[in-house]
Amino acid sequence: MYAETRPLRARVLPSLPVSEEMAHTQSSMPTAKAYAAASATSSLALTTIPRREPTPYDVQLDILFCGICHSDLHQVRNEWSGVMPTVYPCVPGHEIVGRVTHVGSAITKFKPGDLAAVGCMVDSDRTCPECQAGLEQFCGNMTLTYNFPDRHLGGVTYGGYSDSIVVDERFVLRVPSNLDLAGAAPLLCAGITTYSPMRHWGVTRGKKVGVVGLGGLGHMAVKFARALGTHVVVFTTSPNKIEDALRLGADEVVISRHADEMKKHVGSFDFILDAVSADHDITAYIELLRRDGNMTLVGAPEKPLSVPAFSLIFGRRSLSGSPIGGIAETQEMLDFCGTHTITADVEVIPIQKVNEAYDRLLKSDVKYRFSIDMASLKSK
Ligand code: NAP
Ligand code: ZN
């Protein structure tokens, strides 16, 4: 989800305070209720945002649930200012599940009343080699669901902390009917972001897989690694998560602050997924990889991480990163979740508690994803 730096910076538009944004909303334009941050230090608060009239290629959704990703918090507080500066007001939210209320005349995949989902992307150029390979997440002209230039309305895109959204059909996903909807919403980011690198790096039955950080992403990684038949080891800084890690599917749990426990696993992992949101020592994990093992970073801390060359050279180990996944793979992941009945473990909250939820996220105090019940926004 983190496109190349330079073109993005060039395309970032000037910010508007929430009240001015409302003034710019033409009276005839459809609007939605939303929660927005007006600055990096503001709490999120109720506002009104413009949404476009659906084109013949668009699907309009009433949003039922939206997950809270740690990326929402990084972005709202402008912690990624060097790569993706935040444009205010910022309406986050890219784990969206909703019900279709309107489809454009060219739409064949959805009809009003269907369940549908939207993840981190809402558009791409569809013509570049990345798009043609089904890897829209790498398209240089991809549009993220929020804080990205909006090709239709100008300004920036606004995300899922709102009561409705209008999205091109190609970026709308089908939700398996057996899944709990509050728990399905986080699949749209936490799910695909952990599923995709496991598929890419050949995580299959019998492999030894490490998951670092048992948060929203980490707990999904444990569920997928388990469903793929691997031996799963969770690394956590939170001793109070040991029982949950085992319940979620871990075979072993290591308290990462205990050096002696870490040492037992040196040179043994085929694959490690690092889903930590804050500064930490990644060398300690690279050393746990076996020859040709890979560690993939999906966590995106504010500060750079340091890597000694020899930790990679010895053992021909590799360190890589991975952003979300393409649309086809996101559908594949949702269908996999339907088959294996996998959803996120969620704490459902009304949108009025979103600021409290952010504070708790910072303390690693969520089991294991907040999912906003958007009925709470409609009732206001
Ligand atoms: P989260 O729910 O807050 O989980 C992060 C986990 O990291 C915490 O539960 C905690 O696990 C661990 N942690 C936190 N502070 C730590 C510290 N100081 N030292 C060591 N471990 C620490 O966050 P999330 O929503 O899963 O997101 C995780 C990261 O992935 C964020 O940076 C987010 O922006 C990024 N992300 C990336 C992508 C992508 O496309 N690559 C997509 C979505 C999110 P324990 O309590 O178990 O230690
Ligand atoms: Zn996310």
Q: How many CB atoms lie within 10 A of CB 75?
A: 25
State residue 181 phi and psi, 5-degree precision.
-70, -40
Indicate the pairing of strand 231-236 with strand 289-297: unpaired
Best residue for ligand 1 mutational test, from 80, 192, 217, 258 (most atoms within 8 Å of Cβ): 217
**Bridge-partner residues for 121, per DSSP?**
144
Q: What backbone torsions phi and psi does residue 30 show, to the nearest 5 degrees?
A: -60, 150
Q: How far apart are the first and last CA of the chain?
A: 32
Higher pLDDT, 16 or 231: 231
**pLDDT at 248 > cutoff 60:** yes
Question: Is it the case that residue 317 has pLDDT exceeding 90?
Answer: yes
Q: Is the pLDDT of residue 222 over 60?
A: yes
pLDDT at 378: 84
For residue range 110-158, what is the model confidence (pLDDT) as tens digits?
A: 999 999 999 999 999 999 999 999 999 999 999 999 999 999 999 999 9
Is the CB of 361 within 6 Å of ligand 1?
yes
Instruction: Report the separation in Å between the CA atom of 360 and the middle of ligand 1, taken as the mean of its atom positions.
Output: 13
Question: With 80 as the cut, is the pLDDT of residue 368 above it?
Answer: yes
Distance 346 CA to ligand 1 centre (A): 16
Stretch 86-99: mean pLDDT? 98
Ligand 2 centroid from CA 103, angstroms: 26
Q: What is the pLDDT of residue 29?
A: 84
Res 298 pLDDT > 50: yes
**E strand intervals along 105-262:** 115-118, 121-123, 143-144, 164-168, 173-174, 208-212, 231-236, 252-255
Q: What confidence category does residue 4 fall into, taking pLDDT thresholds of 50, 70 and 90? A: very low
Q: Which tens digit of pLDDT belongs to each residue from 22-66?
A: 444 455 789 999 999 999 999 999 999 999 999 999 999 999 999
> Which residue has a Cα nearest atom 22 of ligand 1?
276
pLDDT value, residue 331? 98
pTM strictly above 0.75 = yes
Amino acid at 218: G
Region 193-221: mean pLDDT is 98
| Nearest residue to 279 via CA among 44, 74, 4, 69 | 74
Retrieve residue 273's tokens.
């997924």
Nearest residue by C-alpha to atom 35 in ligand 1: 299
**pLDDT at 1 > cutoff 50:** no
pLDDT > 70: percent of the chain: 93
Ligand nearest to the CA of 248: 1
Ligand 1 atom closest to the CA of 277, numbered from 1:
32
* Shortest-distance ligand to the CA of residue 302: 1
pLDDT at 208 over 70: yes
CA distance 117 to 361: 24
Q: How confident is the model at residue 3 (pLDDT cuts 50, 70, 90)?
A: very low
Query: Confidence band (pLDDT; 50, 70, 90) for 240?
Result: very high
Tell me the pLDDT of the chain averaged across its residues.
93
In this structure, which ligand is nearest to the CA of 299?
A: 1
Question: Does the beta carbon of 69 sit less than 6 angstroms from any atom of ligand 1?
Answer: yes
58: exposed, middle or buried (Cβ count in 10 Å: 0-12, 13-18, 19+):
buried
- Enter the tokens of residue 221: 């990684």
Q: What percent of the chain has pLDDT over 90?
A: 91
> What span, in angstroms and rounded, lies between the C-alpha atoms of 11 and 22?
22
